[in-house]
Amino acid sequence: MASRKLLLLLKPLDDYAVAAQSHGLSRIANPQILHHLESRSKVHREAVGFCQNVLRRKLVDWEPILRDNVSQPIRNVDMVVTVGGDGTLLHASHFVDDSIPLLGVNSDPTRVAVVEEFGNQYDATRSTGYLCAATVDNFEKNLFQILDDILEGQLLPSELSRISICVNSAPLSTCALNDVLIAHPCPAAVSRFSFRIKSNGQSCSPAVNYRSSGLRVSTAAGSTAAMLSAGGYQMPILSQDLQYMVREPISPRVASNLMHGFLNPDQKTEVAWFCKEGAIYIDGCNVCCTVKDEDTLEISSEAPVLKVYLPPRLLEKQVLPIRRTSDAETPKVSCM
C-alpha cells in the first residue's frame, strides 16, 4: 500500500496554568478554576502525544503544525487530522478545498459530571467536538480503527455544504463552514440593509428594507451554533440548504415571510448595505471583512464542499429540521 501523507494540525499547546498565573487567577478564592485550567492543559498535551504515537505506527508520512502557523492554502497532503476541537477543524476548513478531507479529534471533551458538580461556580465546559469523529475518551478503540478504515479505503468522507460570499461581484477567498453574519461592527448600532432572494438571475422575492442587528446565514453544519441559539432550526448535517435569519428586527411585522427561512442550493441572497460601516463575520470571529455604504453582497452555497469524516451519531440523524413554530413562518421561497 502506497504511503499516505498527512498533516497533523494542532491546537496550540497553551500552558493554561501559566496563563492563569499571568492573569492573577491563581490568587482567586476558588482554586477549582486553576485546577480546571491545569487539567485542560494536561489532557490536551496527552492527546497530542497519543495521536503522534498512533501515526508513528501507521504507514503514513506526517508532519505536525500548530493551528496558528497555518496562513496559506494546504496543499500536497492526502488528509488533515486536527487535534483540538471544532475550532481547530473550523480553522483548517478555511485552508482546504474539496480535494483534502479532514478528520477531527476532540482532545479535551466536556465532562458532564464535572459540569453538573461545578457549573454553578465557574464555566466547567471544555470542547464540544460536534464534528470530531474521535475523542480522547475512545482513542484506543476508535482512532486506530478510523485510521485503518480510511487508509484501506473502507471509510469515505461526508460532504458538507459551505457558504460563498461575493462583495460587488468579487468572491471572497474564504468560504464559511458554519455561518456568515453581516452587521454593523458596533453591536449596539443599527444595521440598515435590503434583502431579497434570487435564483438563476431572477428575483424570487421583492427587496425588503430592514433595520435590525444584521443578517445571519448558516449551513447545516452551523445550524446547531448561533442560528439555533437565536431560535433557528437544527438541520440534517448533509442538507445542502442554507438557513437565513434577520437578527432582532426593529419592525418585526414588516415582510415577516422573509425574516427567517431556507434557501435551496440554486438560490442565493442579495444584500444591499446602507450603513457607512459594516462587517462580514465568517464563522464567528475567525475571518472578518469590511463593507461600506451601497456595497452589494451575494451569499450562496456555490462553494466547494468540505470533505469530513463525521462521527456516526451525526449521520444517523438525517431527519427533518426540528421545527419550533409552524412551517409557514420559515418558508422556502420559490421563483415563479
The set of cell numbers assigned to 37 is 485550567
Rounded CA separation 124/274 (Å): 42
User: β-strand 306-309 against 102-106: which pairing, if any?
Assistant: parallel
User: What is the model's pLDDT at position 115?
Assistant: 87
Instruction: Please report the domains of the chain, with CATH numbers, ordered by start residue.
Output: 4-156 (3.40.50.10330), 164-303 (2.60.200.30)
User: What is the model's pLDDT at position 323?
Assistant: 42
**In which residue are the cell numbers 459551505 written?**
162
User: What is the model's pLDDT at position 184?
Assistant: 97
Rounded CA separation 114/135 (Å): 17
Per-residue b/e over 231-260, b at no fewer than 16 CB within 10 Å?
ebbbbbbbbbbbbbbbbebeeeeebeebbb
Contact 16, 107 (CB under 8 A): no
CA angle 319, 92, 87 (to 5 degrees): 65
Residue 229 CB burial class (10 angstroms; 0-12, 13-18, ≥19): exposed
pTM: 0.88
Which residue(s) pair with 298 in the sheet? 166, 270
User: What is the model's pLDDT at position 4?
Assistant: 85
Rounded CA separation 279/303 (Å): 20
Which residue(s) pair with 192 in the sheet? 211
**In which residue are the cell numbers 492573569 written?**
23
Give me the tens of pLDDT residue by residue for the chain, a chain 336 residues long: 457 899 999 998 764 545 455 545 555 556 777 778 888 888 899 999 988 988 888 878 999 999 999 999 999 999 999 999 999 999 999 999 999 999 999 999 988 888 888 888 888 888 889 999 988 777 666 777 888 888 888 899 999 999 999 999 999 999 999 999 999 999 999 999 999 999 988 888 888 899 999 999 999 999 999 999 999 999 999 999 999 999 999 876 655 667 899 999 999 999 999 999 999 999 998 799 999 999 999 999 999 999 999 998 888 766 544 444 333 344 455 554
Rounded CA separation 10/208 (Å): 44
Contact 260, 235 (CB under 8 A): no
The set of cell numbers assigned to 48 is 497530542
